[in-house]
Chain A
Amino acid sequence: MIEPFADRLDSSEDGSRETMVANAEPTKEFFIEMLVKDIQLIRAIIDLVDNCVDGARRMRPSGNFDGLTIGLSTKNEEFSVQDNCGGIPLGTARSYAFRFGRPSDAENLDHSVGQFGVGMKRALFKLGSKFHIESGTSLDHFKIDCDVALWKSKPDWTFDFAIASNEPGENIGTKILVSDLHKSVKDDFGLENFQSELARSIRDAHIDSLEAGLSIMFNGNQLTFEPLTLMSSEILKPALFETLIEEEEGAQPISVRIYAGLGESDPQRAGWNAFCNGRLVLGSDQTEATGWGEGNGKTIPKFHNQYATFRGYVFFDCNDASRLPWNTTKTGVDLDSSTFKAIRAEMIKLMRPVINFLNHLDKEKENPDDQRPLHDAVGGMKCVTIKETSTSGKFEYPQPKPRKKTPRSGRIQYNKPIERINIAKKILDIKTHREVGSLTFDYYFDRECT
């Protein structure tokens, strides 16, 4: 007979009940070696940029970032990121900034992009085995030097300040330097393709802040950006859906704006882009995550180059960043979140008329060049920034002319011995195989089917 589980816990001899627990303490290895596997190097670096952007937002709640700069360097077998975005207050550094995970009593920055209390540490461990952080505010400053191997070997979960002072910092801002880079990181930094991919990803992720005046220098060069645009004119207007999600009482509302329309033909950049508090989390998505292929391709077709002009933008904004539907690596949306599920349905509703128009446009290609009114209509159309678009909410587009009534036809193909075809040709007094097929069909049809 099997004893009930609870009885087996009475293991002490005197019969008193011992408290039996299982050890669930985290290990440093988990953070240093495991967690870093879940994020790509580029994404880890962007996490550090996110912290700089949060600094800018803390400093300038108005959202004008003119004069604020973030500089990144991947040269000389080191990595550094430096900003003049206000610095980390000593108190925050002491109690929150280096905690693994975000304590619930941590001060909330409205509309922040750092949220999970994991990004900076994960990025540092991902990059190398030594890091140096210095930060100064108008009130205080500090420095931390850390050798990860030594830190790992000590039992407590603290980082020692090299300097912690209540004097204002010499420079207002934060500098992070990572040295002893891991071999794979060093290898990547040596590749030109990696550099450009990294620069492009940083630019795309923070296009919203760049538009707000933030300057990002990458290895000495300023990152340039193109604002988000859509085609908009009298006859073609993008769709726009806006809503405020106030599901739970007391929770901060999430504002959502969705645009769907057309851009320049570019299969690489076509698709949906999702932003959480201005941070791109999903770029040019052409997968089922954003509705492509929904309903076995019947509600929305799978992405295809015929939709290379499709552009969709969805912006989630919330003062409480924890309510946003993003994943911790900020590389995608949280598909299971009820917010995203409902918004995805709205995205599908908005994109369907755009797909219809692109299908009409594709069908028009069968017409001779001078009979393509839809192509003519969109051909010379310019894109404008999404703020400048005019829209009634609904996607408006030039309607295709109804097709003329033509009897439907089908093609019949078959093979027959050439000698017999030639005999038929001779008797029918015609020259082509095609005519043999057609006339013999008519011959049969006249006699048997009428």
Chain B
Amino acid sequence: MASFEKVNYTLRPAKSIERKMLCECFRRLTPFSEIESYRYVGFGSTYFSDFSLIHRSLGISNLISIEREEESSERFEFNLPFRSIDLQMGQSTDLLPELDWSPRTILWLDYDCKINADVLADVATFCRSCTSGSVLVVTVNSQPDSESDQCRLKSLTRRVGESKIPTDIDPSRLGGWGTAECSYRIIGAEIESTISHRNGVLPKDNKLDYRQLFNFHYRDSARMLTTGGVVYKQCELSETNACRFEQLDFVRNAGDAYEILVPNLTFKEMRHIEAQLPRGEGGIEIPLDEQDIVAYERVYRYFPIFVEAEL
């Protein structure tokens, strides 16, 4: 069963927060060019939640959704929220290499599967082809395989191939967020080596660099990892710096992940905390654990509100 048949994508709070955080970061790409001129490529599923947000809040109209469940193509077409979404049916590994990569692109490879060779092939395709100022975002399921340590390493090796496994991986560290950390490193290494090969023949100023922006951990059910960043020409370093990504507290340039925690609060509690945010000098008066208050404080601007409604 495809995941769109199992999960209503709009009802996953951590995912929803992540989506809005990413969007806020994309908004900062303007030193490269107007954000409306970017192209967004993603896996819209039947909900197109990311497409709605990207189009509504950033004004991006050049939208491509890749969908592999060819049998349900009519349903995907029916659910297209905007006319300008170009729905392409097929495997991303087949379709991404056929795209014209000259427009600046935000590509969100939002998989629900675990890291595997397909994921890395798509990452490499982007890095091999993208234009300076383009952004890659990769989400993978990073739930540890429910097996023994050695089996976890073996099944990871089976999925990505032995040459992609970092040499210092400790199989006993693949539990908890360990699989996410390992997946993060494997994706980072793939980006690094593909760009390094591409740079081989580029003149000095046109050589490309990758600046990581995202390293999210979150769990609506399974543990998920989202990593990614911006690829830019070395001569566009000043534009890259002018984006001021680091002003966003969830932006991560290295291995220390930002964990999106979703506190379980009532509406009344949320409204009460919000009324005292951004925080002044004193504490926030409410009968809750401080950690829940802090967790909410970090995400309140992105927090989804779910109510039952008949539309």
Contact = CB atoms under 8 A, between A and B. Distances in A.
A338 B194 CA distance: 12
A296 B44 CA distance: 26
Interface string A282-298: 00000000000011111
A295 B120 contact: yes
A353 B99 CA distance: 10
Contacts of B74: 405
Given A345-B128, A405-B73, A298 B97 contact: no
A393 to B, nearest CB: 10
B275 interface: no
Given A345-B194, A402-B70, A407-B71, A296 B200 contact: no
Interface residues of A, number: 31
A345 B93 contact: no
Contacts of B128: 345, 348-349
B175 to A, nearest CB: 25
B4 to A, nearest CB: 15
Given A254-B201, A344-B197, A353-B98, 15 more contacts: A246-B203, A247-B201, A295-B117, A296-B120, A298-B117, A298-B118, A299-B97, A338-B201, A339-B200, A342-B200, A342-B202, A349-B125, A352-B97, A356-B97, A406-B71
B54 interface: no
Contacts of A403: 70
A254 B200 CA distance: 13
Contacts of B202: 247, 342
Given A353-B98, A356-B94, A298 B121 contact: yes
A342 B97 contact: no
Given A353-B98, A405-B74, A299 B198 contact: no
28 contacts: A247-B200, A247-B201, A254-B201, A295-B120, A296-B117, A296-B121, A297-B117, A299-B93, A299-B124, A299-B125, A337-B200, A338-B199, A339-B200, A339-B201, A341-B197, A342-B197, A342-B201, A344-B197, A345-B128, A345-B197, A345-B198, A348-B128, A349-B125, A352-B94, A356-B97, A403-B70, A405-B72, A406-B71
B58 interface: no
B152 to A, nearest CB: 19
B73 A298 contact: no
A124 interface: no
Contacts of A299: 93, 97, 121, 124-125
Interface of B: 70-74, 89, 93-94, 97-98, 116-118, 120-121, 124-125, 128-129, 160-161, 194, 197-203
A343 interface: yes
A406 B93 CA distance: 23
A309 B228 CA distance: 38
Contacts of B197: 338, 341-342, 344-345
A42 to B, nearest CB: 31
Interface string A316-352: 0000000000000000000001110111110011001
B71 A343 contact: no
Given A296-B161, A299-B93, A341 B200 contact: yes
Contacts, number: 78
A353 B201 contact: no
Contact of A338 (B70, B94, B200): B200
A240 to B, nearest CB: 15
Contacts of B118: 298
A277 B286 CA distance: 77
A408 interface: yes
A359 B118 CA distance: 17
A301 to B, nearest CB: 10
Contact of B124 (A295, A341, A353, A402): A295
Smallest CB-CB A-B distances: 5 pairs: A338-B200, A296-B117, A352-B97, A342-B200, A298-B121
B97 A402 contact: no
Nearest to B158: A296
A285 to B, nearest CB: 18
Contacts of A408: 71
Contact of A295 (B89, B98, B121): B121
A280 B97 CA distance: 28
A79 B17 CA distance: 77
Contacts of A295: 117, 120-121, 124
Contacts of B203: 246-247
A343 B201 contact: yes
A245 interface: yes
A247 to B, nearest CB: 6
Contacts of B117: 295-298
B73 A402 contact: yes
Contacts of B161: 296
B101 to A, nearest CB: 9
